[in-house]
Chains A and B, each alone.
Chain A
């Protein structure tokens, strides 16, 4: 099982990321039908979906209206509940500051737009890590909370 939340205000980008993830279940050591991609179109949307989503990975754009991606990562890092969820930030290459801040906040990877499917896969492999410790942890936490 791998559950991924994609936070991005461009629907075409979301569609692209979804296709890139669903097409490569091997990234998550999962069968194709076990890769679930959930889409959020804003930071608030993401905050709404996070609590019951039990996500293993959150991929978020930095530049979004209202709540930006950095704030979302910070929020996740400061919450016991989401601390171990892997995060990948995406943004344009142009803002060096945004990237540095994102990584400083504890995002697992940063991806410059526009990116190729390969780059996305690389970022995922790098952030989940070969051990998948984090994600499996997140999962065991999720399941230990039992059904709500």
Chain B
């Protein structure tokens, strides 16, 4: 249960996160504008508003650092939007740094950590250095006070700027139906934008018809009134040109004439008691209560000197902190109402099915069921299943968010890293609209960021080296995303120097990952895959940027956790391309339910390569590990789950209870996700009590049944990640089934081998096995290979 405070806080994180992300996007656009010399004032306004909102939020929720940063930024942006300072690359740097810092502060707030942030202190100090007072513009053209009265300071500034640039002012008059005003307005904005700048919107008095609204729009444009009229003709906009004003010329910029359908309105009331109100109430100014002790609300307040704090050991090292994260802290997804409407529809249909089912069941109880009723029941069951499927797919859709959420951040980071590294990089992104599950996006953010870092640091060469190699000075990093069946593919490709396979192999031999012998027979692809082995980075020196303790091995592990695979291709001197393939959603997966001892486990089918019976007599011990020759050829290492998990032997020696014959993976039962009818025998109540307490741990389970009466048949489920395979020995196969995965809480985060749990019928829970970590664990010993398994591509 969330209380109001939690909810408001959750809302705070969600909104702050969203604003910060939008801010990043706007900055990228500003950066473009700054380079091309056309800075869109609307963007500056957007950025100012965003920071302004964050400041307000931070003040509300007591996020002091955020408030301080926003306050100082706001002062700078205020000067920027009012034209007191120019948008220089330096200013942009500060803005980009701020966006990153916001992300970190949010992360720290969310986790309730209060740690020193040297980068925060640095940026604040810099902002305060930069905030020298600037001269305030004054004078300029005369503006009708009644118009001035409704302009915000910024709008006034924009108006004056446009006048001083010699642009013509127009009043655009338009009438909208209140219900559809948003669409109408968007269309108008899009049409008008290429011709100039909209300064402000004045809603004109409604007449008797409250469903319509008149708008007077003040616009500044270089275009002639004919051009503007023609452009806006299809939107039935009246265009009226204002007489030109120059300097403090005679004709002031004035209010539009009253709209025809509105009786003339009295002038706005003067400052004192207003005649238009029956009871004069003096305006009150409520003193603002200062909540913040840093002086954040006092412009240019003296700042407390940054304290130097010594980090206690064991707390995050400064380095780890620097590593940063671009994970989002928001736990919410904003949903298109249409998607929810669809869900409601399915629920509605299900309710109807339910009612009819009840009637049918009542008939059966009374013994009046006819043949007709039976076919009706079958129809109801079909309807029911169809709607449950739709509901499931609909809910999955709701969880989907576009990859742009991560890609925008990547673009920002690319800019920053390349500047730090003194390299020139142009990130090119396609397919950012591709959608994946919200959870996947979160877990994907950091691995992608590290890949981006690697591409810039190890891939793209310094400008002088590129020139020497006859390459364009500006390197390209292409990030492409597209959907492929039930998977999303993300490619990160750079046109840099490629991976030096000779050096990689050298290192691998030096570290004992592969033998000289194996090295001779390895294909190029196998060598390239060594990049995913811990500790095999190609750079001898740890660079400022990538040398942050995160190698490709970690990236690979994280991607495997998402049920994904990563592959690498590279041509020396030409390119390096990493390809990540991920299932679209983590929330519902197809899994194979198995039984080990009396406990059920779920193995994600995405990781299952093969299933078969195990003849316990064929198990050999190789290198101290159990293995079998699988399907007559390859050696397969086994992992006896009962022993690994210390589970007691199943009580009954009946090996086939609840099991079906090992299915071939191509059978429709595996390929199409559908729920086979429940088998009563697989859901038998265990004889154990409600709290099966097992003090006996690690009691070894002999491979062969000691009774010797009958050979015990076990099953092997072969799981694979990349080129590694492992045979999980289980007692029974129960059924393939769609399961909804739920994460395990923080209390269990140290337990290896499980990605989560899922609820089966009858309140029972099956733990979902983490194929990646089990393989990791079983291969974790020396050499990571079986005696004659050949080089493993990892």
Contact between A and B in the complex (any CB pair below 8 Å):
yes
B706: chain A residues at CB < 8 Å are: none
Across the two chains, which residue of chain A brings its CB closest to B49?
A63
A81 to B659, CA, bound (A): 75
A131 to B279, CA, bound (A): 10
Contact B53 A116 (CB under 8 A): no
**B461 close to chain A: CB less than 8 A:** no
Provided the pairs A12-B11, A47-B203, A106-B274 are in contact, do residues A63 and B52 lie with their beta carbons within 8 angstroms? yes
Partner of A71, one of B52, B59, B153, B200: B200
Contact A108 B152 (CB under 8 A): no
Contact B59 A78 (CB under 8 A): no
**B12 close to chain A: CB less than 8 A:** yes
CB of A86, distance to nearest CB on chain B (Å): 8
A38: chain B residues at CB < 8 Å are: none
Contact A97 B153 (CB under 8 A): yes
Contact B286 A44 (CB under 8 A): no
Contact B7 A15 (CB under 8 A): yes
**A33 close to chain B: CB less than 8 A:** no
Greatest chain A CB density within 10 A among B11, B58, B60, B286 is at B286
The 20 sampled A-B contact pairs (Cβ below 8 Å) are A12-B12, A12-B16, A13-B60, A19-B8, A47-B213, A66-B201, A68-B150, A70-B151, A75-B203, A77-B276, A83-B277, A93-B297, A94-B78, A97-B152, A99-B285, A106-B268, A114-B58, A114-B291, A129-B281, A133-B278
A residues at B contact (CB < 8 Å): 9-13, 15-16, 19, 43-44, 47-48, 51-52, 62-63, 65-68, 70-72, 74-75, 77-79, 81, 83-84, 92-95, 97-99, 101, 103-116, 118-119, 122-123, 126-127, 129, 131, 133-134, 137
CB of A145, distance to nearest CB on chain B (Å): 11
User: B228-271 toward A: CB 8 Å interface, digit per residue (1/0)?
Assistant: 00000000000000000000000000000000000001101111
Partner of A74, one of B8, B52, B149, B155: B149
Give the contacts of B140-179 with A (CB-CB under 8 A). 148-156, 178-179
**B1 close to chain A: CB less than 8 A:** no
Contact A103 B271 (CB under 8 A): yes
**B202 close to chain A: CB less than 8 A:** yes
Contact B268 A105 (CB under 8 A): yes
A148 to B343, CA, bound (A): 33
Contact B11 A15 (CB under 8 A): yes
A92 to B181, CA, bound (A): 28
Interface size on B, residues (CB 8 A): 67
Give the contacts of B260-310 with A (CB-CB under 8 A). 265-266, 268-271, 274, 276-279, 281, 283-289, 291, 297, 299
**B15 close to chain A: CB less than 8 A:** yes
CB of B280, distance to nearest CB on chain A (Å): 10
A104: chain B residues at CB < 8 Å are: 149, 268, 270-271
Q: Which 9 A-B pairs have the closest CB atoms?
A: A114-B59, A112-B288, A51-B210, A126-B284, A78-B265, A103-B283, A113-B56, A123-B286, A97-B153
B178: chain A residues at CB < 8 Å are: 47-48, 51
CB of B81, distance to nearest CB on chain A (Å): 11
Contact B56 A109 (CB under 8 A): no
CB of B113, distance to nearest CB on chain A (Å): 21
Contact B49 A65 (CB under 8 A): yes
CB of A85, distance to nearest CB on chain B (Å): 10
Contact A70 B277 (CB under 8 A): no
CB of A24, distance to nearest CB on chain B (Å): 14
Contact B181 A115 (CB under 8 A): no
Greatest chain A CB density within 10 A among B56, B60, B149, B281 is at B56
CB of B72, distance to nearest CB on chain A (Å): 12
Contact A70 B153 (CB under 8 A): no
